[in-house]
Amino acid sequence: MKTNQAHPPPLMETLAHYRELPAEEMKARAQAHYEQQKRRRTVRDFDSRPVPREVIEACLLAAGTAPSGANQQPWHFAVIGDPALKRQIREAAEEEERAFYNGRAPEEWLRALAPLGTDPNKPFLEEAPLLIAIFAQKYGVDEQGERFSHYYVPESVGIATGFLISALHDAGLATLTHTPSPMGFLNGLCRRPDSEKPVILLVVGYPKAGCQVPVHGGLKKPLAQISTWL
């Protein structure tokens, strides 16, 4: 008969870095953060200028602070700057996009995309200085080579991606969340194992001079439509 296995108590430490703020400063910081974030727009026209590696690494570290199921941190970020590899990714992504726009996508989805003006052509995958392929780790492998489960993987990776986008925006960079479907080709091109599933291809760089964005993309729902107080 199986019995519940006893687990050792967790190691604890003092919450040393938390700092409570006066209410007025809290309000000011919250409002300033909103003002900064509402300037963020998805960009499809990128300048080719390089981005300092230190900036990207700091933003990745910020993404790595995100909460995750059982703190298993089931994500991997593959940063791609090599022009030849970016071209391969563009070719593979556009192949999937042509299939999507030419029959795979339901008409309702195409109507939803129409105000954004998207099509199968994705030049930004080559023009932007960096791509970050975001992988979700379906399970982990311990030091003995044994698999162990990861929990709340989509939720955890989604939160970390949000942290990353916010950090990149705060650093003065533009981003685009590109999601060709399917995108299994990224495993081979990025040399990632089958235990990882690519979920987002994040395009990162400076917006091109004179860059334009669709008006539709800036229309955000008001507070009353996205929240309730109970």
* Cβ-based neighbour number of residue 60 at 10 Å: 18
List, for residues 39-96, the tens digit of each pLDDT value. 999 999 999 999 999 999 999 999 999 999 999 999 999 999 999 999 999 999 999 9
User: C-alpha angle with apex 12: 11 to 13, nearest 5 degrees?
Assistant: 135
Q: Name the burial class of residue 20, with classes exposed (0-12), middle (13-18) and buried (19+) by CB atoms within 10 angstroms of its CB.
A: exposed
pTM of the predicted structure, to 2 decimals: 0.93
Closest CA to 188 of 101, 61, 88, 79: 88
List, for residues 118-153, the tens digit of each pLDDT value. 889 999 999 999 999 999 999 998 889 899 999 999
Class of domain 42-211: alpha beta
Dihedrals φ, ψ of 63, to 5°?
Answer: -60, -35
Q: What is the mean pLDDT of the chain?
A: 94
Residue 181 contacts by C-beta under 8 Å, 6 or more apart in sequence? Answer: 96, 100
Contact 173, 51 (CB under 8 A): yes
For 112-120, what is the mean pLDDT? 88
Domain boundaries in the chain?
42-211
